[in-house]
Structure 1
């Protein structure tokens, strides 16, 4: 067998800067694809979902599912549809959600499926929005909820939880039966959106503490008696030999049998497989995780999740209980954010989110999933708070610093991730069968190394994608300057770029294609990242963007004709090189009788992009506003009353606007451009200090006209903060140096109300200050005092919305 890969570093004098030239051998023998998994199924139209040991197919086409976790019970049902549309706008095509047993059967024998617990309505809304669903049915869930989702009353029954104890299984069977009633007729086989079921969670790996505990008492974990010694708190590595592994796998099989008996018949069953957790061999896909900013570790440290590896051979949090080469690499819990506990408050840097996905895709992942993608608020139970108080989590907030926040706020990570999502949606069929190629130094690289280039490729035949990552958590990578990569393929060697070098800023990542067909034109390479394509359009187009610090260059095989502005073309008998001179460039290629347009935008513009449909045709909209697709048009949500919308390809129709005014701007060479102006609204609130720790804020009675929400911002420096309405705790937060933002729409009732805020002072010796050390401006000057409390401005701002229709 040929040597799989090698790397060479050469120094060349170039413009006064030493150039680094790396080499990668992609002439490896390809791994076989085997269809041995007992998974799959068809819908009524005959479209089959199937799996081999590398990837998933729908209708015979390789796909890479993009899954976002969103807990319907942690969000008001009147906004579910909006949130599902937000997730779809972000490129999510599968929603994963937990069924928390204790929220639905808090009182033994009484199941609640109404209001915000209406699972069936949530699944129907997913169907209406054409988005798939994976239901995580437990019985144990974790999810930082009380007892990990197990009801309190289960502790008081004569049984052994999470085991084959007959009484325990009888309760589980009842739970599954009740859940299945809510899901009836909504499975993929019925034409519904439910393609997957997750059985249990982190079984024989992790557990949560029982909520019935005493302050200072060690955690009493929700695990079977036999598993207590090997059960850990949080996701991690477990190298100890489990003498009960066979019994654990058997229990998982029993749970699946009960689920199928209840009617939960789906193409895909998953099990959390990290850290030697139990799975259902050959009948479930073991999904993986990666948390760069865990709260369950004693301190901040560099994670390995930004270093490329072959995840098909060596999963994260290995060792694992299965042969990884027999299963596709599906990630279910890539930490797109993190929770705070009282003692630890990690800050999830949103530049880490797309960097981690780049690394996972480059390392062979053929399914990506986020925990959490959309935050929320944990509902209060009938007898207690339902958050994991024993772990010292906030009693209400489950914001998770996620791409979509607790109150639906769209954050930086949402925009960064969608660029990779668009790419995976359009090029997943090419990427999924490709195998990972690494340089020889990949195994030697350590997270602490901030100077060496991190790179890998996915390759099939001579075609592939080059992955570059220059991010590492809890430190700052050195900017990569003036480097080239030579890739040896079965069809010959290719140098990216041909001459000169690439720059990649610190914290940036990139994916560059090589030896790819672009509608009849052979693309040798591009130093711009593929974003999307439309090969069904009248004028076919591909879109690219340039990562920060990188110049866009395209090399095509001979025989192409190029037309466009803002480009430099260099032709010889071996290739045609096109360099883009502007931030936004469009050029037309013609090869072999076919034409295609290439749009190249800078990253700042790409981050404003949304894929939309107008009149059954695909377009891109670029806007600072959030653009949500509706059946008859678009809803635009903006933090300011004036914003622009640009459309590509050009669409020369003046839109109708639901509120405000629309103005056609002078088109540039590439986009149709419109300016939307809404009536400006000032929110009048008043605040008063009640005591040393307490403030009262008068809220508006209702939302202003054409408002999507009113966002209250509380600037403070303290330990913890709580918000009360009518004496009831409705919102809380642990200080992390970030202003506290609260969406008010779910609290407004048409009457004047006061929200009372209670703050507890920060202690000088607080353990969580270690997490704020990278942000010294967040740590106050205590002076000679032992505690500190300061409340600054409390302000409110309108979040505007309108509709536009073409």
Structure 2
């Protein structure tokens, strides 16, 4: 029984309250008239005819991908409402194992990683959900979502029935799957399908692996429709008995249409990955796909009666160090933004694709689509001046280490984090040398390194630049190699080779260097909070590099989204109020980092920058993004 105190309410409030109570009673006793409460829950999504059925009635999946781990929690609802208003009925999301189990046996499902809250919110907004729990997800995410501590095992074989991998998967699924079981369709929740792994056809060499993953889901209580997803040329290799095979469309090749024409007539066809754009690499251009081309192709797919999932509907951001990379034909690191040229931009704005999609998808609904949510404004703030400075060498006192080792050790194998090693960021290797000569990396640097002699910068080692001249000097000197993990490859055959830092010997005059002291600089919150600052003189004083810089951003009133621009800076990482916004690099294409308003405070905000080589000593906050010059992907 609900007791209401009405004495002090005005007449208008009496009326509003009465209507509210009536609405709640109607919803409770009659169900939500628009969808999720009125279907037959005994029959889930089925694919046993030329079309899907849900609750025994014909159903077309109109889905869009939004990843909760790439969007601030405060904006989950906004992005979902925009998905619904565009004409979609289903949300798809991956589950990143590496975030949910950052250390073996340490599971995180709170705050920004509250998967249950995310799925429940989708249900409250009348959206169905297709869950993609992995364990491997690709997603252009570091190591395809697999935790780096798996690589501590030198014999590890990822995405296989190797006992060490199977044991870790079972442990993760024991925690993950019980959380989503009550959210399945047949139990009254929004999850109508679950994907088994991701694109195994292009990778798989273990004939038993997909059967293992399928049974791992079924044995823990998953009883909704199972899917696999691969490019059309690998779709048979990546499938598994008992799961519907769906297609990933990477570009509109004529062979794909031929494949669709030859598919069995009684199999519902679903395009699980219909790309809205593409991701970007540092040093390249911003990849875009013309709105007319994308929607024109989608129109043809829908006319065939197919179901679709737009990847991405809203891309979001690779906050922190979570961007992935590609390894073939050569290594490239992905940028921080995951805008993806999607219908809803990185900052949540509508694009021409959104408007064209909404017009197209409205034809597949009997009722008018919901109104488009009002956009949130972006703000330009006064520049933040960096007024405190801490050199890398001074900051080492707050880092974990030094760890002593005769030979180099990859970051994943360092003795820290409760035996889980270092996952992300930078690692510093120091040793003593005498005379100079030629330093040769032997391609054992992953992925880039700044090299110093007695704290003086002498050059950079990369995949392409593997040799460096070391100047002569007197007596013993300290050689320092600061190695950055620029992002592990997200897909491909080299997953098992993604250890970072120094992964083998480096040579000075053809002699392997020995006796290292190693510092971990993963720049986690504990490390960043421990930094102690001292005031320093403004120019003409020249700061040393690499270095940490501290400044303040003042926000007058309610905080809005903004974009951090760093003209005059080189390469590094930005932290605002303890949040790692991600990497920046002057080579582009991205020239501004997205800073969500919910991560700002009214009044003063702390800004910390780690810069490798050069600084303008102030940063700007603009109201518009800058993703660089564009290149068409088709």
Scaled by the length of structure 1, what TM-score is found?
0.46
Contact 2:318 / 2:582 at 8 angstroms: preserved in 1?
Answer: no
Taking a change above 3 Å as real, the CA distance of residues 265 and 199 of structure 1, as seen in their structure-2 partners, is same
**SS in structure 2 opposite 1:611?**
coil
CA 75–710 in structure 1, closer or farther in 2 if over 3 Å, else same: closer
**Aligned mate of 1:338, from 234, 257, 278:** 278
Find out whether 1:753 has 2:605 as its counterpart: yes
List runs of 5+ in structure 1 lacking aligned partners.
1-41, 207-222, 228-246, 293-302, 315-322, 427-532, 535-609, 613-620, 622-626, 629-635, 641-681, 763-788, 799-806
The question of whether the paired residues in 2 share the 8 Å contact of 1:54 and 1:366 is answered with: no
Displacement of 1:198 in angstroms is: 0.6
For the pair 1:304 / 2:253, whether they are aligned, the reply is: yes
The 1-side partners of 2:123 and 2:74 are apart by 16
Q: Does 1:290 align with 2:249?
A: yes
Shift of residue 750, structure 1, vs aligned partner: 3.2
**Aligned partners of 2:352 and 2:591: how far apart in 1?**
16
Matched residues in 2 for 1:365 and 1:733: separation? 43
In the alignment, is the contact (CA less than 8 A) between 1:724 and 1:756 conserved in 2? yes
Helix, strand or coil: the match of 2:69? helix
Deviation per residue, 1:736-776 (Å, 9 max, x gap): 667746344133123413646789999xxxxxxxxxxxxxx
Q: Distance in 1 between matches of 2:266 and 2:570?
A: 48
Other-structure match for 2:375: 637
Alpha-carbon distance in structure 2 between the residues aligned to 1:54 and 1:761: 60
The alpha-carbon deviation at position 165 of structure 1 amounts to 3.1
**1: distance between equivalents of 2:607 and 2:349?**
20
Alignment deviations for residues 399-435 of structure 1 (CA, whole Å, 9 cap, x no partner): 32322233323322222222222223x2xxxxxxxxx
Cα distance change, pair 114–59 in 1 and its aligned pair in 2 (3 A): closer
Q: Are the structure 2 counterparts of residues 116 and 254 from structure 1 closer, same or farther at C-alpha, using a change threshold of 3 Å? A: same
Question: How do residues 407-426 of structure 1 correspond to structure 2 at under 5 angstroms?
Answer: 407-424=347-364, 426=365
Cα deviation, residue 702, structure 1 = 5.9
Task: State how far apart, in whole Å, the 1-side matches of 2:191 and 2:258 are.
Answer: 30
Could you tell me how far 1:113 is from its partner in structure 2? Answer: 1.0
- Tell me which residue corresponds to 1:386: 322
Q: How does 1:60-79 map to 2 (within 5 A)?
A: 60-79=56-75
Aligned mate of 1:170, from 154, 167, 174: 167
Equivalent residues of 1:685, 1:698 under 8 A apart: no
Q: Distance in 2 between matches of 1:702 and 1:324?
A: 62
Superposed counterparts of 1:309-708, under 5 Å: 309-313=257-261, 325=265, 327-351=267-291, 352-362=293-303, 364=304, 366-380=306-320, 385-388=321-324, 392-394=332-334, 396-424=336-364, 426=365, 533-534=366-367, 611-612=369-370, 627-628=372-373, 636-637=374-375, 639=377, 684-686=381-383, 699-701=553-555, 703-704=557-558
- Rounded to whole Å, the distance in 2 between the matches of 1:102 and 1:794 is 31
Indicate conservation of the 8 Å contact 2:557/2:603, yes or no.
no
Any residues of structure 2 matched to 1:22-41 within 5 Å, and which? none
Counterpart in the other structure of 2:234 = 276
Q: CA deviation at 1:188?
A: 0.5
Distance change in 2, residues 1:150/1:795 (3 Å): closer
Provide the C-alpha distance between the structure 2 equivalents of 1:68 and 1:313, rounded to a whole number of angstroms: 25
What is residue 795 of structure 1 aligned with on the other side?
Answer: 622
Q: What are the superposed Cα offsets for residues 438-497 of structure 1, whole Å, 9 maximum, x if unpaired?
A: xxxxxxxxxxxxxxxxxxxxxxxxxxxxxxxxxxxxxxxxxxxxxxxxxxxxxxxxxxxx
What is the DSSP-based 3-state SS (H/G/I as helix, E as strand, rest coil) of the residue aligned with 1:637? coil
**1:103–1:163: structure 2 CA closer, same or farther, 3 Å change rule?**
same
SS in 2 for 1:376: coil
Superposed CA offset, 1:501-536 (max 9, x none): xxxxxxxxxxxxxxxxxxxxxxxxxxxxxxxx55xx
Q: How far does the alpha carbon of each residue in 1:251-283 deviate from its partner, in whole angstroms, 9 at most, with x for none?
A: 212211110111111134333353324344552
Once structures 1 and 2 are overlaid, which stretch shifts more, 168-177 or 737-746? 737-746
Offset at residue 136 of structure 1 (A): 0.8
Give, in whole Å, the separation in 1 of the partners of 2:619 and 2:353. Answer: 27
RCO (CA 8 Å, sep 6+): is it higher in 1 or 2?
2
Q: Aligned in 2, Cα 1:792/1:109: closer, same or farther, shift over 3 Å?
A: closer
TM-fit CA distance, 1:354? 1.2
Mapped contact 2:552–2:604 kept (Cα < 8 A): yes
* Deviation sequence 1:363-403 (CA, Å, 0-9, x none): x35111122211223354xxxx3332575434643332322
- Between the aligned partners of 2:584 and 2:94, the Cα distance in structure 1 is 23
Alignment size in residue pairs: 421
Contact 1:44 1:190 in 2 (8 A): no
1:139-164 CA-partner distances (Å, limit 9, x unpaired): 11111222112222222335533223
- Shift in alpha-carbon separation, 1:387–1:347, aligned structure 2, 3 A: closer
Does the 8 Å contact 1:374/1:405 carry over to 2? yes
Name the SS for the 1:175 alignment partner. Answer: helix
Select the residue among 94, 99, 102 that pairs with 1:98. Answer: 94
DSSP-derived class of the 2:247 partner: strand
- Alpha-carbon deviations, 1:312-364, whole Å to 9, x = none? 235xxxxxxxx6556322111111121112254342134133123123234x3
Range with greater deviation from structure 2 (721-730 or 75-84): 721-730
The residue that corresponds to 1:160 in the other structure is 157
User: Are residues 354 and 261 of structure 1, via their aligned partners in 2, closer, same or farther at CA, if it must alter by over 3 Å?
Assistant: same
CA distance in 2, matches of 1:397, 1:255: 31
> Residues 105 and 393 of structure 1: is their aligned pair in 2 closer, same or farther, counting only changes over 3 Å?
same
Distance across 2 between alignment mates of 1:159 and 1:686: 48
Distance 1:118 1:96, change over 3 A: same
> Alignment partner of 1:397: what SS?
coil
Match of 1:710 in 2: 561
How far residue 49 of structure 1 moved from its aligned partner, in angstroms, is 3.0
Residue number in structure 2 paired with 1:261: 219
Distance 1:112 1:255, change over 3 A: same
Name the residue aligned to 2:144.
148
Please give the secondary structure, in 1, of the residue aligned with 2:273: strand
Q: CA 1:311 to 1:723, structure 2 compared with 1: closer, same or farther past 3 Å?
A: same
Structure richer in helix, relative to its length: 2
Distance 1:140 1:47, change over 3 A: closer
C-alpha contact (below 8 Å) 1:289/1:333 kept by paired residues:
yes
User: Residue in 2 aligned with 1:83?
Assistant: 79
Give me the CA root mean square deviation.
3.9
CA distance in 2, matches of 1:90, 1:394: 29
Alpha-carbon shift at residue 129 of structure 1 (Å): 1.0
